[in-house]
Amino acid sequence: MSCCQIFVGSLFLLVTVVAFADDKYRHPESRPIDEIIVTADPLEGVDSHFVAPVTVLDEKVLRRESSRSIGETVSNQLGVNSSDFGASVGRPIIRGLGGGRVRVLEDGIGTMDLSTISGDHGVAIESIFAKQVEILRGPATLLYGSGASGGLVNVANGRILSVAPEAVEAKAYGHYDTASDGWLGAIELNAGIGEAFALHFDGLKRDTDNINIPGFAEIVPDTGERSGTLPNSDNESHNFSGGGSYIGTRGFIGFNVSRLENEYGVPGAHHHEEEEEGEEEELGGTRIDMRQTRYDVKGAYDFSGSWFQQFKGRFAYNDYEHDEIEGSGEIGTQFENQEFEGRVELIHRPLGRWNGVVGLQFQDRDFAAVGEEAFVRPSELDSIAAFIFEKADFDKFHLDFGLRGEFQDAESNDSPGSTSHNLLSLSAGTTYEYLAGYEIGISATRSQRAPTIEELFAGGPHLASNTFEIGDVNLGEETSHNIDIFWRKVVGRYRFDFTLFYNSVSDFAFLQSNDRNADGIADRVEADFLETGEIVDEDDALLLVNQRQTDAEFWGFEVETRVTLIDDSLDFVELRLWSDYVNGELDRGGNVPRLPPLRFGGGLEWERDRAYAGVSAVRVTEQDDVGMLETDTDGYTMVNIHAGYTVPLSNGRSVTIFARGTNLSNEQARRHTSFVKDLAPLPGISGLFGIRASF
């Protein structure tokens, strides 16, 4: 892709930037922009005063985004895509990096699932309950661990209350989705007992059928395959939680217990066949039955007359398991993950102009997999880290500085093999407000990431991705040097954000195909390869891949403009235009696999008193800069609409009726970031109709 092609999608946006640069003269009166507190920042900074690129989706924005998965929820934000594996599974990809390089957090603590192990493993979190979703692009290792070298997504669900409600607060939600003939219902309750105690409960149930798609599921359909439906894409899930808090004059402490059960099909997964009396019988697809019980504790305490101003603590223990069920109904593999993660933060009182926090984070993980497809050996992982983060304002300059040291130890339980890593990460950045509301800035980060257990201890067939994966216990630390340069306007009728980023990664770990028999063709093997060592000549056999390390470079841009077209006593109309792009190349030659292509889009949002509506369109260009053995992916355009109307009731209660339409042109869309893009397209034209009530 040439430079001209890369920037064509954002050219109009940049022209708009210039055209509206003096909007203060055209529109001297403007609605103030609400500042949103970023809970992932221990100092609770606002989103408009961040050196690191940050996006916050509040409840107002979340109501028009998909709730099928957390990856789908954030996939239309700058620099963020989804690595979906059908409609039920989607993990965020940030600036072309995914898997273990992007952390997904629930109120500041990891989801503690197995979604980084394999693309078909779902993230154990529901965005329906989110009060806001925070996206930090670029390295976020300083606060949340070496796994966040690509960025993080924090889902703030507010399940542990820090203030006792004065009265019972209840919310109910329900919708019907035509694409999957699916229903979802959810309820949330908060109540106070005096001023010292607060109680919380929420529950959700989802039941969907196979999703409707335009055309065939596979690019090259099998003989007799039916079009219009993605087989084995149904889902049934339950999520319940409850807890309470004690609230004192100087702080609070609370707990929450949650249970998630999620059973879903894996579209495009390996189908097993058996022979009976000379006839072949194709069995059903693989299914995953996930169960997670999670225990959370959260608290804070304000000091009086101390050098420290506040103490914060968050702790969680997780008991997770899931079964991968074969088409015959038998359990092929059982996965278990017992994990504890905690963090404590001490916020010191201002030292001159400097405000900051020091903290500790610790993690203990015990992983096991048993069965014929247990491609990662049972293993344990322990880590402990200390960090410091400081920020200060000097007139028109804002400065950030951070430092983190971390030690990680990983060990395989059933075979020789252990590894330890000492990690050091640091960051610094500054913004300069050269005119009121206009900022330029730069941030630089040096971050280190330790290998994950799947990168270290894999060694077996991985049928979901049709590969035979072999890890490497000798993998070293992955070191990223990242630079962001940005220009933004954060207030007024016209706002914009333009960012250029560059990321040089030393010892980038990735899976590489083999050619052990030197025939110039990638090796294919059977599931018993470790015993036989045999290379087979069958196109549908497992692709043999090994973990490798080499240097890599990523660069790209993100640009967004927002223009308030109308803001009067009746109507509010806002136009959003945006584009993003990332390119990744390996030092040994070739492209990083599954990179998202250039995207550009726009949308209009309208509000009048109790009513709102909007329309958006996103163009995803073709991806032909592919990695080894990857296929090209065609471009597509996604057109969506939404609308709603709120009916006020007495005593502050209200009922909102809403509707959303997605993929209105019914395009066959395949995400290049998906492991099953050639087998499972995105849903076709869909209508979602629902109701939301607060009382």
- Transcribe 640-677 into DSSP letters: EEEEEEEEE-GGG-EEEEEEEEE-TT------TT-TTT
Q: How far apart (Å, rounded) are the C-alpha atoms in residues 78 and 557?
A: 9
Largest CA distance in the chain: 84
Inter-residue contact 453 to 410 (CB < 8 Å): yes
pLDDT at residue number 304: 86
Range of the domain at 261: 3-274+283-694
**pLDDT, tens only, 385-432:** 999 999 999 999 999 999 999 999 999 876 667 889 999 999 999 999
The secondary structure of 103-131 as a DSSP string is EEEETTEE--SSTTT-TTSPPS--GGG-S
Phi/psi for 293 (5° steps) reads: -115, 130
CB 511 within 8 A of CB 592: no
Q: Residue 371 pairs with which residues in a beta bridge?
A: 333
pLDDT of 658-694, one tens digit each? Answer: 999 999 999 999 999 988 888 899 999 999 999 999 9
Question: What does the pLDDT read at residue 283?
Answer: 56
Which residue's structure tokens are 């590894």? 419
CA distance 551 to 478: 9
Q: Is the pLDDT of residue 31 over 60?
A: no
Q: Is 518 left (phi over 0), alpha (psi -120 to 50) or beta?
A: left
pLDDT tens digits, one per residue of 585-627: 999 888 998 899 999 999 999 999 999 999 999 999 999 998 8
Burial class (CB in 10 A: 0-12, 13-18, 19+), 308: middle
Q: What is the CATH number of the domain that holds 242?
A: 2.40.170.20
Rounded to a whole number of angstroms, the distance between the first and last alpha carbons of the chain is: 54
Q: Token pair of 97, please?
A: 């990096």
- Provide the residue type at 557 as one letter: F
- Return mean pLDDT, the chain: 87
Share of the chain above pLDDT 70, in %: 91
For position 27, what pLDDT does the model report?
Answer: 39
Q: Looking at per-residue confidence, does 388 or 67 come out higher?
A: 388
**Is a pLDDT exceeding 70 seen at residue 228?**
yes
Question: How many Cβ atoms from other residues are within 10 Å of residue 616's Cβ?
Answer: 19
DSSP state of 48: T
Q: Which residue shows structure tokens 């109501």? A: 63
pTM score, whole prediction: 0.89
Q: Is the pLDDT of residue 15 over 50?
A: no
Q: What pLDDT score does 248 carry?
A: 94
pLDDT in tens, 89-122: 899 999 999 988 999 999 999 999 999 888 888 8
Residue 518 CA: distances (Å) to CA of 432, 467, 535 = 56, 19, 11
Alpha-carbon distance 554 to 537, whole Å? 35
Per-residue pLDDT, averaged over 134-140, amounts to 82
pLDDT at 48: 55
Write the CB contacts of 477 (distance below 8 Å, at least 6 apart in sequence). Answer: 421, 423, 448, 449, 450, 451, 507
Query: How far is C-alpha 501 from the chain's CA centre?
Result: 19
* Strand-pair partners of 449: 478
pLDDT band of 284, cuts 50, 70, 90: low
Distance CA 60, CA 30 (A): 20
Question: Per residue in 520-560, pLDDT tens?
Answer: 778 888 888 888 888 888 777 888 888 889 999 999 999 99
467: tokens are: 């590969």
Positions of E strands within 107-196 = 109-110, 132-137, 151-156, 169-177, 182-193
Strand, helix or coil for residue 84: coil
pLDDT at 631: 85
- The letter for the amino acid at 63 is R
What are the distances in angstroms from CA 56 to CA 78, 289, 402, 621? Answer: 11, 32, 22, 26
Q: Which amino acid is at 218?
A: E
Q: Residue 306 pLDDT > 90, yes or no?
A: no
The three-class DSSP label of residue 689 is strand
C-alpha 493, offset from chain centre: 30
How far is 460 from 456, CA to CA, in rounded Å?
13
| Whether pLDDT at 32 is above 60 | no
Backbone angles phi and psi of 164, in degrees to 5: -80, 125
Query: What is the pLDDT confidence band of residue 23, given thresholds at 50, 70 and 90?
Result: very low
Whole-number Å distance between alpha carbons of 631 and 636:
16
Nearest 10 degrees: CA dihedral of 39, 41, 46, 49? -160
Cross-strand bridge partners of residue 348: 308, 356
DSSP sequence for 451-479: PPHHHHHBEEEEGGGTEEEE--TT---EE
- Which of 43-57, 194-208, 547-561 has the weakest average pLDDT? 43-57
Q: What span, in angstroms and rounded, lies between the C-alpha atoms of 386 and 405?
A: 6
What pLDDT digit, counting tens, does each position of 202-216 carry? 999 999 999 999 999
The pLDDT confidence band at residue 464, using thresholds 50, 70 and 90, is low
Identify whether the C-beta of residue 462 lies closer than 8 Å to the C-beta of residue 118: yes
Q: What is the pLDDT of residue 379?
A: 92
Q: Exposed, middle or buried, 126 (CB in 10 Å: 0-12/13-18/19+)?
A: buried
For residues 438 and 92, the answer to whether their CB atoms sit within 8 Å is no
Has residue 219 got a pLDDT over 50?
yes
pLDDT-based confidence at 363, cuts 50/70/90?
A: very high
- The pLDDT of 469-474, averaged and rounded, is 89
- Answer whether residue 10 shows pLDDT above 80: no
Burial (0-12, 13-18, 19+ Cβ within 10 Å), 432:
middle
pLDDT-based confidence at 517, cuts 50/70/90? confident
User: 269: pLDDT confidence band, cut at 50, 70 and 90?
Assistant: low
Cβ-based neighbour number of residue 417 at 10 Å: 18
Question: What's the number of domains the chain is made of?
Answer: 1
